[in-house]
Amino acid sequence: MYSRTVFAVTVGLVGALLAAGQSQAQQTGPGVQAPRDAKYQDYLASHCKSPPAPAAAFTPRAPAAAPPPHRDYTVAAIPGVIAAGQTWTTVWTGTGNNADGPVATPDGGVLFAQNSDSKVMKLDARGAVSYPHADTNTGGALSRNTRGALFVVQRGLPQAIWQLEPRRQLLANQYNGEALDCTGALLNDLSADSKGGVYFTMGGVYHADAKGVVSHYGTLTGANGIILSRDEKTLYVTGRLAGTPAAAPSAGRPAGMVAYDVQRDGSLTNERQFALVGDDGSAVDAQGRLYSTGGAGVQVVDKDGTVLGEIPSPLPLITVMFSGPDKKTLYGVANTQQFVEIFTLPMIAQGYKGRAK
């Protein structure tokens, strides 16, 4: 069993959280997701030929006085993946809606997108923190392609996908000649391909090619985590296709993974339900197995869709990935949008070394 981590929360921190919760609905600018921005409806009215229906009024979540307590868990062995009895170790804690969409760095560290801070945080293998990028306008997820280019989804108004490295430049901010915000959805996750484009989720499944031309594919709604296979011939997205038999929901949504075949031109075909587990951030390992957060921790799925098991975690996780020495450390992020905790877990499985994630 994992011993619970004790946090010291100061009166000043609680006061700041209370203030943030009370004013969130009226905020604008970096650190505020577009649909929660006070200028959002005016922006849609002035930039969209047919503005989407008004978003439901945002009700700020009641500020929490302290981080959530850890739950008890026991890790069972999954052959070739993890040994029985392993435990998660806390390596970083913070506040706000931060530490999302991580990717590994060559030195065994991890980059995380910071929604609230509009920065990119690096956590190195020793636990040291630095901020290699700032001013990301509510950067929400990162992906690095096989050529080293680093991309981020910017969730602030107006929403866009930017390349951060090797040079900073806009990749895409329009779909069908209008602002991405005109879809009425929020940029969520992305997976960069080796041709300079990215696949991303924004309610549905989209692809922005290297010239920034955005295309929508499939029928999936409520798309969430997204990851390319090692050979980039298959794209996996967490979600449930209409008509798929019901199962227990994960985090309020029906759990599942949908797969697509990736064509030479980057287009997607053969949309199909791949598995009935998985809900949020996803990763692949060197053997092509898939890891997705949801349920009681991390679901592990073989490349043929067979569910191999679940790795329970001390808190619900929003995303997962491999890094560390020899890429045999699994990182998991718990994020309540008020408190954040990053964990590590030693693995038998090894992350795919041909790509950052």
To the nearest 10°, report the CA torsion of 273, 277, 282, 285: -90
- Note the pLDDT of residue 173: 98
**Nearest 5 degrees, angle CA 108-CA 93-CA 346?**
40
Query: Would you state the pLDDT for residue 59?
Result: 72
pLDDT (average), residues 213-221: 98
Strand, coil or helix: what is 258? strand
CA angle in degrees (0–180, nearest 5) for 135-143-337? 60
Model confidence at 62: pLDDT above 90: no
Q: Which residues neighbour 206 within 8 Å (Cβ) at sequence distance 6 or greater?
A: 175, 199, 200, 214, 215, 216, 217
Q: 247 falls in which pLDDT band (50, 70, 90)?
A: low
**Element of type H or E holding 93:** strand 89-95
Contact 17, 64 (CB under 8 A): yes
311 vs 85, 86, 152, 316, CA distance in Å?
A: 11, 10, 28, 11
- Contact between 138 and 31 under an 8 Å Cβ cutoff? The reply is yes
Confidence of residue 246 (pLDDT cuts 50, 70, 90): low
What token pair was written down for 271? 């949309």
pLDDT tens digits, 283-303: 999 999 999 999 899 999 999
pLDDT digits (tens, 9 = 90+) for 63-109: 888 999 999 999 999 999 999 999 999 999 999 999 999 999 999 99
Q: How far apart are CA 1 and CA 239, in angstroms?
A: 31
Backbone angles phi, psi at 46, to 5 degrees: -95, -15
What single-letter DSSP state applies at residue 62? P
State the amino acid at position 104 in one-letter form.
A
95 bridge partner residues: 339
Establish whether the linkage from the previous residue to 254 is cis, with ω within 30° of 0. Answer: no
Instruction: Give residue 276's pLDDT band: very low, low, confident or very high (50, 70, 90).
Output: very high
Domains of the chain by start residue, with CATH? 77-346 (2.120.10.30)
- For 116-181, what is the HEC assignment? CCCEEEEECCCCCEEEEEECCCCEEEEEECCCCCEEEEECCCCCEEEEEECCCEEEECEECCEEHH
Position 15 scores a pLDDT of: 38
Phi/psi of residue 12, nearest 5 degrees: -60, -40
What is the pLDDT averaged over residues 298-323? 97
Predicted confidence band of residue 10 (pLDDT cuts 50, 70, 90): very low
pTM listed for this prediction: 0.91
How far apart CA 188 and CA 159 sit, in angstroms, is 11
Buried b vs exposed e over 146-166: b needs ≥16 C-beta within 10 Å?
eeebbbbbbbbbbbbbbbbee
